[in-house]
Amino acid sequence: MFNTFGYVNNTGGCLSSSRKLKKCERCGKYKRVLYNINDMHICSECIRGIAFYKVFKDGFRDPRLRGDVITVGIDIGNLVWFNPFAQAWLYPITLWMFFRDRGMKFYLDDLRISWKYRTPLEDVLKIYVEEGIFRIVERDGKKLIIEGDALKEMLKKYGDRPDVHDIIGAWISGLIISRLHEEADAPDFRFVNATIRSITERMVDINGNIKADPYTKVTGYRCRICGAKFMSKDEIRKHLMITHRVPSDEIMLHVEEESVTIGYLLEFEHLLNTLRKEGVKPERFTERMERFGVLVHEDPEAPRIIERDGKRYVVVHSAWVRVVARARMYEHNLIRGRERIR
């Protein structure tokens, strides 16, 4: 587990061996190339996880990324919700919402009495406190759980909305799980790792630029002559013929389509292969995608999977791509200048 993201290169760069695999001290996997991060030898996959967590942690303070972080957080929660391990980590915020809705004080004893998970409560609260979600203070001889700085900031931003608890729950789900998704005792977290890995490998480059093809939807048509906008081709056709006396065979010369990007294309087979490599059954992921809309765009009129040139593509939600692209930039900056010995 990492609390900071600076690094000390005591070895002079990348640690590797062309003859012997080395064990990553974070995830336990054996890799040819390791990096010295905070005096631990870790692999590039773990660095990717650290970068994603860092972006998720800071993203809600960035107006350009805040909405994306919440959207991705909702998906992460749906990916891991059926895992009892994940439920243990999300239970404190769920109980906090229950007490807050009823205007009741939330004492530590309330949480202890209802705790039914194998994961020690102390371990869970330690992360909540470190992340600024909760603070634990003494009041009248009892320990009271109150909002930490990060949760206070979320309440300040969204406290006047009827869906404030949904937004806070999504953000905290994403924050906690992004910090824990490499845990060996939580196999469902591999859903998250596989998703990040597939987007990283196929949809963004090393500098965080989006290289995947966009999937767009036409939202209207604009007249190039006068600037008037119309919802359908028939409407703008009539406008050009009647108002501007444009002959039928020249109409399209004066029409400009307006569109929005609702997602980016990810080869479906690559996603399925990545899931298999992470030990996840693809049908379990597709079930969540169909049932909860995980990973895909939110437009009810557009398909979630399309076919082009004989291949199937998932139309990935733009929020996922933007968040992973930002993480890719951080990942690149973290390992930049390290020597890679193969």
Q: Going by DSSP bridges, is the β-strand pair 214-223/33-37 parallel, antiparallel, or unpaired?
A: unpaired
Query: Which residue type does 192 have?
Result: V
What is the rounded CA–CA span in Å between residue 184 and residue 250? 64
Per this entry, what is the length of the chain?
A: 342
Q: What is the pLDDT of residue 16?
A: 44
Q: May I ask the CATH class of domain 218-260?
A: alpha beta
pLDDT of residue 341: 39
Residue of 193, 212, 204 whose CA lies nearest to 332? 204
In terms of DSSP H, where are the helices of the chain? Answer: 44-59, 66-80, 84-101, 108-114, 121-130, 149-158, 164-180, 190-203, 233-243, 268-277, 282-292, 318-335
Contact call for residues 44 and 335 (beta carbons, < 8 A):
yes
CATH architecture under which domain 84-185 falls: Orthogonal Bundle (1.10)
Task: Kindly report the pTM of this predicted structure.
Answer: 0.82
- Residue the block writes with tokens 């919440």: 70
pLDDT tens, residue order, the chain (342 aa): 444 334 344 444 554 444 588 888 877 888 888 888 777 788 888 888 888 988 988 888 888 999 999 999 999 988 887 777 888 999 999 999 999 999 999 999 999 999 999 999 999 999 999 999 999 999 989 999 999 999 999 999 999 999 999 899 888 988 888 888 655 554 457 888 899 999 999 999 989 999 999 999 999 999 999 999 999 999 999 999 999 999 999 999 999 999 999 999 999 999 999 999 988 899 999 999 999 999 999 999 899 999 999 999 999 999 999 999 999 999 888 887 554 434
pLDDT at 6: 40
The pLDDT, as a whole number, for residue 28 is 80
The predicted pLDDT at position 266 comes to 98
Q: Where are the domains of the chain?
A: 84-185, 218-260
In angstroms, rounded to a whole number, what is the distance separating the alpha carbons of residues 41 and 47? 10
Tens of pLDDT, residue by residue over 187-218, are 457 888 899 999 999 999 989 999 999 999 99
Q: How far apart are CA 82 and CA 25, in angstroms?
A: 28
State how far the alpha carbon of 232 is from the alpha carbons of 121, 176, 302, in Å: 58, 45, 17
pLDDT at 3 (0 to 100): 40
pLDDT given at position 338? 54
In the block, residue with structure tokens 């040139």: 309
Strand partners, 314: 266, 305
Q: How far is CA 164 from the centre of its chain?
A: 19
